[in-house]
Amino acid sequence: MANKVKKSPAKGSLGNPFSKLFKGNSIWKRVQSDPKDKEIKKSIEEIRRRKDEIKREKAVESKKRETERLKLKEENKKRREEIKKQRSTERQKRETERSKLKEEKARKIEEIRRQKAIAREKRKVERLKLKEERRKRKEEERRKFMEERKKRRLEKLKLKEEKRKARENLRKEKAAEKEKRNAELIRLKEEVRKRKLIEKEEKRRRKVEEKERTKEERLREKEERWRRKEEIKREKVMQKEKKKVEKLRFKEEKRRAREEEKGKREKQRVPLVRELSRSLKISKERYETDIDVLYKIIEKNGRIKLTAISNYFGIDKKKAEEWASVLQEHELAEIHYPAIGGPELRRKEEETEDAK
């Protein structure tokens, strides 16, 4: 709708509407002072005309905007109605599709129920058949079980009868053996009693004989016993002296033999074996070990390096030292650590030049 336009004041009149527009201006003051001035009147008329034109233009523009707004409203209404129609058609389509799907689903469910019912009936029939078969099988098994139980019971009765007979026989045998043992015990007791009586009689007779012996005989026996004791003491003293003499002689012989051996060793010293060849063959018994073979080699050669032992037997140095310590513990050999060179294994009797 167009805006209401206020009526302009009549020509020649200077009303209040311009008082606000020209308030404080020099023109207004001049108009108030001299209202008959033509130039001022002309300018006022021009201003009024311009203002009317502006108002008319604004009214036209507002009418145009109003018409455009109405057109837009109409278009929006039409558009909304079209959208509503489209939506209603789409909704109807969806509802029809849903109803179709529901019908199909109901049909499928009905079909599935019918199939399940048929399958249930089949399973029932099969179950009844299986029950009947199981019942028959159980009856057959029960019949067989009863027959086997009867057989087992008969066998148990037979075994019991046989055991009873065997027990009866054992009881009879034991009773016979017991009677025999009792008779034997009675006989032995009688023999023991007779023997005890004989022994008592013998003791009594000996006592009487001893009493009948004279005092002289007893004295003579005492003297003989004392003489025997003296002779035994003398013999023991003689034997001790003989042993002492023998020990001294044996020590002297041992000392001389040791001195002779020392002299021999000083004349010919045993050479140190630094390497053992693989061709060296040592007889090994079935029950002997590598340590026994090593002892034989030491007895044969006298002095051997530990490196030679490890190379010959194919062992490491630590193992060779362990074997050497075993021989040293049993006093069959001794380990020597010279100032120059590695350790050596020697015979127990061998003495080095450093020890001398």
Give the span between the Cα atoms of 11 and 8, in whole angstroms: 9
Give the span between the Cα atoms of 298 and 350, in whole angstroms: 11
pLDDT in tens, 90-147: 988 899 898 889 899 999 999 999 999 999 999 999 999 999 999 999 999 999 999 9
Task: Check residue 346 and give its pLDDT.
Answer: 85
Q: Side by side, which strands form the sheet with 333-336?
A: 272-273, 303-305, 344-347, 333-336
Task: Check residue 132 and give its pLDDT.
Answer: 92
Look at the block and give the residue holding tokens 């513990």. Answer: 329
Q: CA-CA distances (angstroms) from residue 35 to 31, 39, 215?
A: 5, 10, 212
Type of residue found at 306: L
Give the span between the Cα atoms of 302 and 317, in whole angstroms: 20
Task: Check residue 217 and give its pLDDT.
Answer: 78
pLDDT in tens, 9-56: 444 444 444 454 444 555 555 545 555 567 777 788 888 888 888 988
Length of the chain: 356
β-bridge pairing 333-336 and 303-305 = unpaired
Regions of the chain short of the pLDDT cut 70: 1-37, 213, 215, 263-287, 349-356
Task: Check residue 355 and give its pLDDT.
Answer: 41
Nearest to 344 by CA among 319, 321, 314, 312: 321
Tokens of 172: 């009879």
Task: Check residue 283 and give its pLDDT.
Answer: 60
Task: Check residue 36 and give its pLDDT.
Answer: 53
Task: Check residue 273 and give its pLDDT.
Answer: 54
Task: Check residue 142 and give its pLDDT.
Answer: 92
Give the span between the Cα atoms of 305 and 335, in whole angstroms: 10
CA angle at residue 169 from 164 to 175, to 5 degrees?
125
Predicted model pTM: 0.25
**DSSP 3-state of 353:** coil
Task: Check residue 308 and give its pLDDT.
Answer: 85
**Widest pairwise Cα distance in the chain:** 217
344 and 336 in contact (C-beta within 8 Å)? yes
